[in-house]
Structure 1
């Protein structure tokens, strides 16, 4: 049931090329699952039942992952729409036949309660962990409710799945843009302006909301009105289309949680995560806020001391929100001697990617082979990496899997950066693991007539981050398909990728991966020192912004926000967002004309668990410091230890146990606090 993908061509063949192929993929997935479930329910109930249920769920998830990639990348809107529609259909099928199947639940309960299974589970901790988690999941989904309530739970799950897909589709398909004359783009890097198209009249540039354009304008444009227009357009993406969808999603998630016996959807969502309860997540946030706010106050002093003439404070001294990125960049350039556009010249995309691969190869003890097979995929600008595990010091190698990389923006493509773990590395009957497949999507600046595509340092971090997810997807080996790859607890999943970002702030690594696009020279030592010194210059503001999003996600699905609401249209999602902003980030003038939540895609995928980004970063910093203290950034020995203890087991163990075993102690927040440079 798990495809064995040995070549890049076989990777490409997984993805449908026509509407008929999309439909065939879904039809086959349903037929196979139906036959598998019938076999499970008609056969003996023993420990092998666990593997059969796991494989059935895993192969359905595989089909859904393939559809998700097509929805996010395919150049033809008709293909994206069909993939989106059939994702909803497949999720509905999965709810009916798997996650809400009482007969399957009873079959697994029989296995769990069978005395003859006890000895097996004592020796097979992985399957035992899977079964405990699976049974708890069935109970959380209401499998022990009476029939009428359970039927409503099932319908709500289907409705939520459809709303989730519609919400993300509206973000991906959003075509928001503004137009600006050349003199309104003063200060915007020439490389960005050269990539802009002009309107039909030919007198203005069209500024879309892709990340290279947006951040290029917001960080560099010296015209305040352009920054304001760009900011308001960006924060109104998918508005108003996503307003009723989000309202309905909140309402139905609240109904679902209530039926399942939880005080709110946040309580339901966190019950299976590391944090366990919203109060624990909020306590975590509350513990960080005071120190971060003190740091942010000192950062505001620096910003105001370096105000550009185009930035006008409010009468009470607040900085307009749409000027913050510009002000920060101004300080980095003028006071910290960090010119991001100058540094960008040392990150030409092709040589930088190769150098980044060298770092991965050294630490993880692996090797890459790049295959230019874009014509077999969905865009000629995509390619595939075959990833090999080095054996006996590189004397031989074995295939870990493949990573498809799609790095440049285009119409209709997912506009952020992400990684899809498509085929997980699962133990096969012959004792080997299936080669895995991940897909990395990003939207980096493209080449111009005068210069190659070049990364900003932020872009390099983004690539290293998402590629970290991809490596996790290839190395997270498990007996159980639904625990393989990146299938770990949601508030732990960001650890591997966040940890790897720290490599890019180490002077030796920066020297290793940089090469000026004209001269080939590495980044000068002075620029490296300045860049590294700037890492935490605005960590107060950056962290508070993340906690603002985390608080919003917890609150929007929390009990107080949902209390006494009789109709979904009563939810004022924008008012909630605006009420949180000034509480955490004082000293900023926020706009009342924006609706950021409409493009906040994590509200559907991550639900209430957005706090997980910072929660997992605590552990990421702890693990990174452990490796750094042992001079292990390019050490295959420490890389192997990290693989074995943390990412190499997928989600088959409790994350707390993984961390304790790797660190040799209880994890702590010391490295995290030190990195932020705050006093708590």
Structure 2
């Protein structure tokens, strides 16, 4: 089948910097032309904002691909080229942001009668552009100070880049003997390299395994290792990684505060909240305070249950309890034991969710609900210049109602060296309306870092990873379905405190029996080799059933909200930390900031665990949300959970597969992307009322 738009091309390391230079040249040229041919008296949307929007549309795909490579490329040479290209682009943005005459032209265009005749998306575009200039200091600072402000902002961008690269390149871990790893499943052990041999007595040696912090290593140890000292050793070692990022984060926070003060904002939080859905820090603080009151008692009950199970286990092992608190390195382990007591066997459940099969099943669900079709493009037809790694798959997406093309979806699901450590949806190319009236179609990546299997194993997903995959795929589908005129508003390019809502809504389907059984397939059904290996490990046992048994699904669903209080309280801890460090008002506030103390104080207060042995650690600099656009926005996950729960309970829960409801949701929410000026009102129009923000845990 011929495709209406070629796949985006992946530049080589040698092409990245020249490509960025050409992009900058094109963008500069149109700005020069606008300044040359327009005056404040003649300025309109059509001769000022529109030409810049059109060149932004035209180059955003190349920029998107270059920026994607910082997350996905396995080549350090490409990463280095990206760093150079990013530096050039940031310098250009600084130059354009300092352009006072262009700001005056846009201001003049906003004041012309023509503005009120524009379509709402074009009006929104100009107003967003003017807000961006305001955040560059225009209309607030003298021109010379604007340049100083932007120079300092570029310096902050450099610190952010260094922080994030440190997270990506981190490669530490801990070596354990097999005895220390007692309880860890064989499939996890098989992922880790033999490290060294230690002498156990004068005649014997025992192998050690090097367990990396990344690729699921820390998670596996904390979940399965039977020895408390093994879990503690792994947790504390993981907590000490990335020490260098602490100084960087403190410097970023202080510089952000000074920048906000320079623009006459009380705090960086007040500055950033202006581009969020929430609009005011008062709203966010009130929201978080209500959640604290709601979730606190639930969290205390859950910690008490975990502690009871822990003391019971320690007594059985003949280990004396040391202190009264519940240590954080024991949370995952005893949560698993409690779930096992409830007949929730996550290891057994994972056998029915092999990654590739599950991902394909999810695409089928989205296709059915939203009227889509996904066609896998055969790997043998793809040339090397359209893929950045040989494990990447590409699908074309189609609307089944009119057989129209919608865009491309890439799946890049497995962890590898030098790859982004988290799970995310990454837009390469936006959809938009071209000058000739035809549509440019989006290309988007579902990029995850699920632990990679070895040659003899299959990548299996725990249920929470199934939820994560569905969530991130939801972002990608949002990207595929959106239909904006301008790339600026495409897909989930909207404030995160609304943009997470559609994907959190979709998580509900991962708790439905029909969905889970439909997605499931025991991994041994995928390959004779897997079945032979399973029979070897389970001699005399009957072969596994192909579909997940009902009792496993029933127990999972029944206890959906088991330990949900602690899950949301951790999100509340990070949200409170984010808001606090970005709400510093005075020089003394900045001088007194102790990010480590604040982090562990908040976790102890809100989550109820004993972090006394962790306070020399650096857990707060091991994730990159606050340095990748989510500063003053980590609360988005909680905010969007509340909206998603309201939307699900009021609209979908009675008939979750109703095609008419899904079609209305597609038209009323997903297709709009970020084009609407009031996202709360857009949701209100869909619901017929404003959303209830106090719904988090239901069950």
How does the TM-score come out when normalised to structure 1? Answer: 0.92
What is the aligned partner in structure 2 of residue 388 from structure 1? 398
Match of 2:210, SS state, is strand
Aligned partners of 2:21 and 2:88 also within 8 Å: no
Please tell me whether residue 213 in structure 1 is matched to residue 213 in structure 2: no
Separation in 1, partners of 2:57, 2:22: 14
Contact 2:603 2:609 in 1 (8 A): no
Gaps of 5+ in 2: 198-205, 525-543
Matched, 1:418 2:407: no
Residue of structure 2 equivalent to 1:668: 692
CA contact (8 A) 1:382 1:406 kept: yes
Residues 45, 126 of structure 2: 8 Å contact kept: no
After superposition, the C-alpha distances for 1:442-500 in whole angstroms (9 at most, x for unaligned) are: 11133345542211111111111111111111222211221112111121111111111
Picking from 10, 14, 17, the partner of 1:20 is: 14
Distance change in 2, residues 1:479/1:447 (3 Å): same
**2:388 maps to which residue?**
378
Q: In the TM superposition, what whole-angstrom CA distance separates every residue of 1:428-450 from its partner, at most 9, and x where no partner exists?
A: 23433211011221111333455
Report deviation, 1:311: 11
Aligned counterpart, 1:75: 74
Name 1:89's counterpart in structure 2.
88
Is this contact kept in 2: 1:314–1:320, CA < 8 A? no
> Which residue in the other structure is 1:266 paired with?
269
Residue 421 of structure 1 contacts residue 486 of structure 1 at CA under 8 Å; is this kept in 2?
A: no
| CA–CA distance in structure 2, aligned partners of residues 35 and 627 of structure 1 | 49
Match of 1:364 in 2: 370
Choose from 109, 125, 128 the match for 1:130: 125
Moved more, 205-214 or 360-369: 205-214
Give the C-alpha shift of residue 600 in structure 1: 2.5
In the other structure, the counterpart of 1:551 is 576
Query: Which residue pairs with 1:167 in the alignment?
Result: 163
Q: Secondary structure of 1:443's match? A: strand
Asked if 2 retains the 8 angstrom alpha-carbon contact of 1:374 and 1:383, the reply is no
Alpha carbons of 1:253 and 1:494: their partners in 2 closer, same or farther (altered >3 Å)?
same
Deviations 1:92-126, CA, capped at 9 Å, x for gaps: 211211x33222222211211112433x23xx111
Distance 1:627 1:668, change over 3 A: same
Aligned 1:51-70 pairs, distance under 5 A? 51-58=50-57, 61-70=60-69
Q: CA contact under 8 A between 2:328 and 2:609: conserved in structure 1?
A: no
- 2:208 matches 1:204: yes
2:471 corresponds to which residue?
465
Which residue is equivalent to 1:227?
231
Check whether the contact 1:321–1:588 (CA below 8 A) recurs between aligned residues.
Answer: yes
SS in 2 for 1:594: coil
The residue aligned with 1:637 is 660
How many correspondences in the alignment? 654
Where do 1:288-437 residues align within 5 Å? 288-307=291-310, 308-309=313-314, 317-334=324-341, 336-371=342-377, 372=379, 373=382, 375=384, 376-391=386-401, 396-437=402-443
Name the residue aligned to 2:536.
Answer: none
**Cα deviation code 1:563-606 (max 9, x no counterpart):** 42677xx7432122122122212243451131112213011121
Give the C-alpha shift of residue 374 in structure 1.
Answer: 8.6
Q: CA separation of 1:233/1:382 partners in 2, compared to 1, >3 Å: closer, same or farther?
A: farther
- Are 1:600 and 2:610 an aligned pair? no
Name the SS for the 1:306 alignment partner: helix
Q: 1:60 to 1:665 in 2, by over 3 A?
A: same
**2:446 aligned to 436, 440, 448, which one?**
440
CA distance in 2 between counterparts of 1:73 and 1:583 reads 38
State whether structure 2 residue 7 is matched by structure 1 residue 10: yes
Match of 1:524 among 549, 572, 577: 549
Q: What is the Cα deviation at residue 59 of structure 1?
A: 5.0
Q: Which residue of 1 aligns with 2:203?
A: none
Alignment map for 1:136-175 (pairs within 5 Å) = 136-144=131-139, 145-175=141-171
The offset of 1:540, in angstroms, is 0.9
Q: Given the alignment of the two structures, is residue 40 of structure 1 paired with residue 37 of structure 2, yes or no?
A: no
Matched, 1:248 2:244: no
Structure 1 residues without counterparts, runs of 5 or longer: none
Question: Does structure 2 conserve the Cα–Cα contact (< 8 Å) formed by 1:374 and 1:381?
Answer: no
Aligned counterparts of 2:654 and 2:65: Cα–Cα separation in 1: 40
| Partner Cα separation in structure 1 for residue 647 and residue 83 of structure 2 | 38
Structure 1 position 5, deviation (Å): 8.5
* SS of match in other structure, 1:268: helix
Q: Deviations over 1:355-406 (max 9, x none)?
A: 1111110111111111234954122111111111122xxxx41211112211
Relative to structure 2, which stretch is displaced further, 459-468 or 43-52?
A: 43-52
In 2, Cα distance between the equivalents of 1:51 and 1:407? 38
Cα distance, 1:464–1:374 mapped onto 2, change above 3 Å: farther
Deviation of 1:160 after TM superposition, in Å, equals 1.4
Q: Write the distance in 1 (CA, Å) between the matches of 2:74 and 2:220.
A: 25
Structure showing greater Rg:
2
Alignment CA distance shift 1:572-1:59 (3 Å)? farther
Deviations 1:62-83 (A, max 9, x none): 4443222111121121211221
Task: Find 1:573's aligned residue among 595, 598, 601.
Answer: 595
Range 22-31 or range 76-85, more displaced: 76-85
TM-score, reference length from structure 2? 0.89
Deviations 1:527-554 (A, max 9, x none): 1111012221111111110000000011
What is the deviation of 1:315? 5.4
Alignment of 1:445-460 (within 5 A): 445-460=451-466
Report the CA distance between 1:155 and its aligned residue. 1.1
Q: For the Cα contact (< 8 Å) 1:60–1:94, is it kept in 2?
A: no
Q: Among residues 618, 622, 642, which one is paired with 2:642 in the alignment?
A: 618
Change (3 A) 1:313 1:552: farther
